Structure 1
Amino acid sequence: MATSRRSYLDYNATAPMRPEVAGEMARVFMLSGNASSVHAEGRAARAEMETARERVAALVGALPKNVIFTSGGTEANNLVLSPSLRRAGKLGARLLLIGATEHPSVLGGHRFAAETVERIPVDVNGVLDLPWLKARLEDAGDSLVLVSVQAANNETGVLQPLAAIAALVREQGGYLHADAVQAAGKITLDMAALGVDVLTLSAHKLGGPKGIGAVVLASDRIEITDRLIRGGGQERGYRAGTENVAAIVGFGVAAEIARANLSEEAARIRALRDEVEAEIRRLVPEVTIFAASVDRLPNTVSFAIPGTRAETALIAFDMGGVALSSGSACSSGKVKRSHVLDAMGVEPAVAEGALRVSLGWMTTKEDVARFAETCERVASTLYKRKANVA
């Protein structure tokens, strides 16, 4: 039977909304003005939006005027990944290079012709092959390239070397997009220091509301001329439609809290993650922990217990009061094999058992203890049973 006690350890899927966010959103829901109107009510709504824009910009070291609000990370990625992205007065990209472990909204959401898209291979840890990228950029010659990579992988937490990638792209004269949906609020991001041309963000990964995200441009000289949603002139013409002021405000509050507590919270969560890993290794010495030897998000553990299937293990954890993810759940809620682990060269039999623990602002040592208790039961009933049968 399912326990009444629950530990939510699936923050990379979505983070619980912070109470401060909910409180500010409830207040703003009662504002009557349209942010595009010139009367006092409209100006009040606009002021709320601009404060939020400043807060989101501060999270990634950008200027507020270069933050464009969207309905989420998926729309933001779809908007950015267009041949029309360019520097003012320059040509757009002719070739799109995408990391092999990118989110589906990048792999399937771009607007380039299929024959102009190539995937950048990764090593066994999921880190981009920089020599391959350097050679491919050199081969491109005068044909400008748009490179799109995740700052942090949603399944494994692996961090990509964005500054090194940016240096290679800059040499070729191309453009660099970083999907920072998983990284924002968990690690320090500074667009200028990294040399990234455009970032994409999503509020619900850092304790904000679902249904709001952003495109952040490095400067107002970066432009996207082919817009997805056309109509009015909202968001500097990049995204038509009456703005969702309450959600935008919630995004801003979540961004401000994340920025203020970033170092302290990252250290706290990293310590909890290390406890989770230690417990997994204690209970299942033969466990595979993916990308354990490279830089990862402080909150993420991706692992596989030998001989188990993710579907079965997820149900067992859920019945034990622990919410995890396979890291590869599709929109139907079913589990399919991870393209991320495939790109890393993980054997199919191992990849089919991959699970992901992702921690966040509400995670406590008690949650780690509950995970360990449940993991012990899962290991004894699934892993050991499988070992005995073998």
Structure 2
Amino acid sequence: MNDPLPKEYNKKEVEILNRAFQAFNDATQQLQNSYDSLEERIKELDLELARKNEELSANLKEKEEVKNHLHNILESLTTGVVVVNANGVVTTFNTTAGVIFSVDPRTCLGQPLKQAPAGELLDNIVSLSSQNPGEAITLDKELEIGLRGQQALRISASAVKDPNDEPEGGTVLIIQDITLLRRLEEEAQRNQRLRATGEMAAGIAHEIRNPLASIELFASLLHQDLAEEPEKRKLVERISSGVKNMDRIISSVLLFAKSAKPSRKKCRIDHLLKDLLTDHSDFIVPDNVEITQQYDLGDALANGDASLLKQVFRNLVQNAIQAMPGGGQLRLSAKVETPAGTNDIPGRKFINVCVADNGPGIPKDKRDQIFNPFFTTKDKGAGLGLSISHNIIKAHQGAVNFETEEGKGTQFTVTLPCWDPYLDEEEYA
């Protein structure tokens, strides 16, 4: 039988064990405190991370909105924008640039600039810009572009720069279609020349008309005195006929020089054209000319002066008949449209009146001159009919255009504004 441990030994052992338990409890408490502190810190970090994520999401959303906004602005510009990087690869090709060059912009992105429409020209401009990074290069050029034909473009190039205004590689190309601007400039120059010509012609016409009246008076008296000399009377009659012809030309000159001021009234174009063809006071439709008419106007009315418009259509019909001395087909038509580039007013509709023949057409070297005063391809006439017609239609806020093909004929199209009860107010004499 073993002897029991001494009491002192048992106390020491218990004391050590107690201290061990106390140390364990202290360590456990410290570990718990550390865990609680860590858990609290994790919660704080989670909150901080959530806040940062919210800020980041908000920043990303804001940047995405700015990006979309800038993209929308870029796509809404009426000028073409093409951006190439330092390697000459297209990184931006907006919608307007696609319209100008008649190409899908997506097919140009990521491709070398040289492969884009007019690529050689654009690449040369980029090269010039890279040689002069501090300057913008601008060039006006006329190009043949697909179905759009000859177009005038203004192309500007400048280096892409960083916030410090230093080139960072790449070039921005701005392309403007200035075809309409060129036409307006040419029209303004033409109008200026016509105004000067008209003023000069009017002065000359007045100077001629006075002595012409005296010639007519003396010829009339001479005609009476030669009642018994028929041969001489015929000579006098030829003088009178020549004087009357000169007077008609002078009247045309004065009409050309005078600015047309049409009254603003409702006008039935189909009725006007039908009446014109039945009124043979100024011209006769030969039997060998076949006339076809097609009017799709419904209840649409033109806004204009019936008397002046009748003068325009009389001239166009007479020209068409004279273009077919051996006979042919004269086609008259009218329909309602909203054409682009014709003094467009929001909500305004237009009437297109076409007068077409199947004569020989207008030679290419004459087409740019047909609206010029005193230009004519006929043996007779002052060459003022189309000039006067052009002025009358312009005064109506309309337009006169023509299409012609040699050997097939010519079609003149007169565009007139429709009468709109919300936009127009009828004038009464």
| TM > 0.5 | no
The higher-RCO structure (CA 8 Å, 6+ apart) is 1
- In our comparison, the structure showing a higher alpha carbon Rg is 2
TM-score interval, normalised by the smaller of the two chains: under 0.3
Higher normalized helix content (fraction of residues): 2
User: TM-score if structure 2 supplies the norm length?
Assistant: 0.21
